[in-house]
C-alpha cells in the first residue's frame, strides 16, 4: 500500500472514531423507579375477580411476629430469600358479578404512609370508577383496610353501601374503647371513626352479625380473633369458589410453615391462630381459591399440606384477550 493510501485509511479510521464518540449515549437515562398500576383480572365462574394493589409497606416482622423468636423468623425469611424489613403487600379485591360491583377492603388511603394509598388508582387503571362500586365488604377496621373509604372530606365510593361485622363496628367506633386503649393503638380507632362514620351519617353503613348471606354468591363468615369482628368472605359462581381471608395471615414465609405464629396486631392471638389453622386445613382439603390482604400481590392462589405446615401455590399468570 502506497503512503498516500495509508494516510487515507488512517484519516478514515480517525473520522469514524470521532463520529461514534460524538453519538449521544442512552446508557445514562434515568431509572424509572415506578411500577405499573397494580391490578390482575381472573374469572371465577361467571364472576370477574380483580386484585387491586394498594402498594407495599416495609414491616419489621422479626419484632412484630409473636409465639416465635427473631432467630426462627430470620431462618424462615432466608428460605424465601427475604430480608428485614419485609415489603408487605396490601391488597383489595373487586368482584364484578355482572349485576353488582363489590369491593373487599379499600386499602390504607392516607392513613399508613406514602408507599400505600394506591388502590383507587389501581381500580381506575383496571377499567372501573369508584362511583360504580355498589357494595364494600370490610374484613375488619384496621387502617390499611378502611383507609380508602374517604377522599378528603368526601365519600370515595359515593354510591356504595359499606358492610362489616357489628362486633368490629361496636369496638372500633366506640369513644370509650379509644379512651381506654394504649397510646399506640389510638390511631387505629381514629382511623376507623374517620372512615366509617361518614358512611353511617349518610345511611350507607349496614352492619351484619357473624355468618351472613349478603347477596347471591357472597357470604360473610365470622373469623374473630385478629379483631373482635374479623370476617372472611366466601364468593361462589358456577361451582368455583374463592375465600377472601383478610388478615387471617400476614407473613407467608413464616405462617404457612408455622400456623401457630401470631402477630402483635391480633386482638386475641389465640383465637386468631385457631382461625388460621382452620382456614388452612379447609382450603388445603377442598382445593378452592384463596386470597389474602398481605400475600404478595396479586395474593391469589391455593394452599396444600406440606409436612406439619402448608405451602403456598400462587395463581398461574393468565393473559386475557
Average of per-residue pLDDT values in the chain:
93
CB 230 within 8 A of CB 223: yes
**Separation CA 178–CA 171 (nearest Å):** 9
Find the helix or strand (DSSP H, E) in which 290 lies: strand 289-291
- Cβ-based neighbour number of residue 18 at 10 Å: 9
DSSP string of 42-90? EEETTEEEEEEEEEEEEE-HHHHEESS-HHHHHHHHHHTT--SSEEEEE
DSSP line for 234-259: EEEETTEEEEE-TTS-S-HHHHTT-T
At residue 20, the pLDDT reads 44
pLDDT in tens, 299-308: 999 999 999 9
* Cα–Cα distance, 248 to 211 (Å, whole number): 16
Report pTM.
Answer: 0.90
pLDDT digits (tens, 9 = 90+) for 197-229: 999 999 999 999 999 999 999 999 999 999 999
- Phi and psi, residue 289, nearest 5°: -70, 145
The pLDDT value recorded for residue 321 is 75
Per-residue cell: 130: 369508584
Percent of the chain with pLDDT over 90: 87
Question: Residue 27: what pLDDT?
Answer: 59
pLDDT digits (tens, 9 = 90+) for 271-296: 999 999 999 999 999 999 999 999 99
**pLDDT score, position 4:** 53
**74 vs 63: CA distance, rounded Å:** 11
Is the domain covering 38-314 a CATH 3.60.15.10 domain? Answer: yes
**Residue 217 CA to its chain's centroid (Å):** 22
Quote the Cα angle for 141-88-117, to 5°.
55
pLDDT at 256: 98
- Provide the pairing of β-strand 135-137 with 161-163: parallel
Matching residue, cell 360473610: 220
pLDDT of residue 319: 86
Residue 184: how many CB atoms within 10 A of its CB? 8
**Low-confidence residues of the chain: pLDDT under 70:** 1-27
- Number of neighbouring beta carbons within 10 Å of residue 262: 24
Residue 236 to residue 244: CA distance in whole angstroms: 11
Amino acid at each position: 500500500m502506497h503512503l498516500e493510501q495509508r494516510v487515507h485509511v488512517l484519516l478514515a479510521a480517525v473520522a469514524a472514531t470521532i463520529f461514534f464518540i460524538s453519538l449521544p449515549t442512552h446508557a445514562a437515562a434515568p431509572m424509572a423507579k415506578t411500577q405499573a398500576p397494580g391490578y390482575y383480572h381472573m374469572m371465577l365462574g361467571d364472576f370477574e375477580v380483580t386484585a387491586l394493589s394498594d402498594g407495599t409497606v416495609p414491616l419489621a416482622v422479626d419484632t412484630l411476629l409473636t409465639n416465635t423468636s427473631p432467630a426462627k423468623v430470620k431462618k424462615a425469611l432466608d428460605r424465601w430469600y427475604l430480608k428485614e424489613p419485609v415489603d408487605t403487600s396490601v391488597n383489595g379485591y373487586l368482584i364484578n358479578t355482572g349485576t353488582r360491583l363489590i369491593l373487599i377492603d379499600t386499602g390504607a388511603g392516607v392513613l399508613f404512609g406514602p408507599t400505600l394509598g394506591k388502590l383507587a388508582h389501581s381500580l381506575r387503571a383496571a377499567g372501573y370508577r369508584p362511583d360504580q362500586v355498589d357494595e364494600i365488604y370490610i374484613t375488619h377496621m384496621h387502617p390499611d383496610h378502611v383507609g380508602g373509604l374517604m377522599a378528603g372530606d368526601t365519600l370515595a365510593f359515593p354510591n356504595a353501601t359499606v358492610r362489616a361485622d357489628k362486633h368490629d363496628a361496636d369496638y372500633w367506633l366506640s369513644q370509650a374503647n379509644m379512651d381506654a386503649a394504649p397510646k399506640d393503638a389510638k390511631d387505629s380507632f381514629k382511623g376507623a371513626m374517620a372512615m366509617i362514620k361518614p358512611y353511617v351519617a349518610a345511611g350507607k353503613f349496614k352492619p351484619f352479625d357473624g355468618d351472613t348471606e349478603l347477596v347471591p354468591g357472597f357470604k360473610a363468615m365470622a373469623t374473630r380473633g385478629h379483631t373482635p369482628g374479623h370476617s372472611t368472605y366466601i364468593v361462589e359462581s358456577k361451582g368455583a369458589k374463592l375465600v377472601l381471608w383478610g388478615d387471617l395471615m400476614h407473613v407467608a414465609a413464616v405462617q404457612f410453615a408455622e400456623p401457630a405464629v401470631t402477630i402483635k396486631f391480633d386482638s386475641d392471638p389465640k383465637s386468631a391462630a385457631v382461625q388460621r389453622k382452620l382456614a388452612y386445613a379447609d382450603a388445603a382439603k377442598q382445593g378452592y381459591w384463596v386470597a389474602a390482604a398481605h400475600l404478595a400481590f396479586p395474593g391469589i392462589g391455593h394452599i396444600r399440606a406440606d409436612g406439619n405446615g402448608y405451602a403456598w401455590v400462587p395463581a398461574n399468570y393468565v393473559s386475557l384477550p
